[in-house]
């Protein structure tokens, strides 16, 4: 019996996948527990509509990420820090601090999107990568001053 998975099931199938399984397994486990539906014309049409909707959303998200990338290029975040002897910075700038500064400027960026390769513990300018969408990375300048 052919079924369409409507949820991911480890080792069996991913959401949207069409797979041929044994009748008993399909009826007694997959369909009963809401992991799959029987493959028929109506369910295939629903699957196709869902895929089209997801593709349209992905396209929209990608377009928004490109716009945001251009906006972020012009932003400089300034952080005033205390320094010791020889302009040695106490501590470093954290992901949370960068997120908070971006929020103050009106950008909704999640902490997991901010990628700090090297700790920001020196005075001057630092470039910080922000993962906006798979394959689209924005760059924000961080200026550390005393």
**All structural domains of the chain with their residue ranges:** 2-65, 76-145
pLDDT on residue 121: 86
Token pair belonging to 103: 């929020």
Whole-prediction pTM: 0.70
Is the model's pLDDT at 63 over the cut of 90? yes
Q: For residue 111, give the nearest of 100, 120, 121, 119 by alpha carbon.
A: 100
Is the model's pLDDT at 142 over the cut of 90? yes
CA atoms of 145 and 80, how far apart (whole Å): 5
Same fold, 2-65 and 76-145: no
CATH hierarchy code of domain 2-65:
3.40.5.10
CA atoms of 109 and 117, how far apart (whole Å): 17
CATH superfamily, region 76-145: Ribosomal protein L9, C-terminal domain (3.10.430.100)
Using DSSP, state whether 117 is helix, strand or coil: coil
């Amino acid at each position: 019996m052919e079924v369409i998975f409507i949820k991911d099931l480890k080792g069996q199938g991913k959401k949207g996948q069409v797979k041929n399984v044994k009748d008993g397994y399909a009826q007694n486990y997959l369909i009963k527990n809401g992991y799959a539906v029987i493959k028929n014309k109506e369910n295939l049409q629903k699957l196709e509509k869902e895929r089209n909707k997801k593709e349209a959303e992905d396209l929209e998200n990608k377009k928004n990420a490109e716009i945001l990338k251009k906006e972020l290029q012009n932003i400089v975040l300034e952080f005033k820090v205390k320094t010791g002897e020889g302009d040695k910075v106490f501590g470093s700038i954290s992901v949370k601090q960068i997120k908070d500064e971006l929020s103050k400027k009106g950008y909704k960026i999640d902490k997991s999107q901010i990628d700090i390769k090297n700790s920001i513990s020196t005075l001057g300018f630092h470039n910080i990568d922000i993962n906006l969408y798979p394959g689209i990375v924005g760059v924000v300048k961080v200026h550390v001053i005393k």
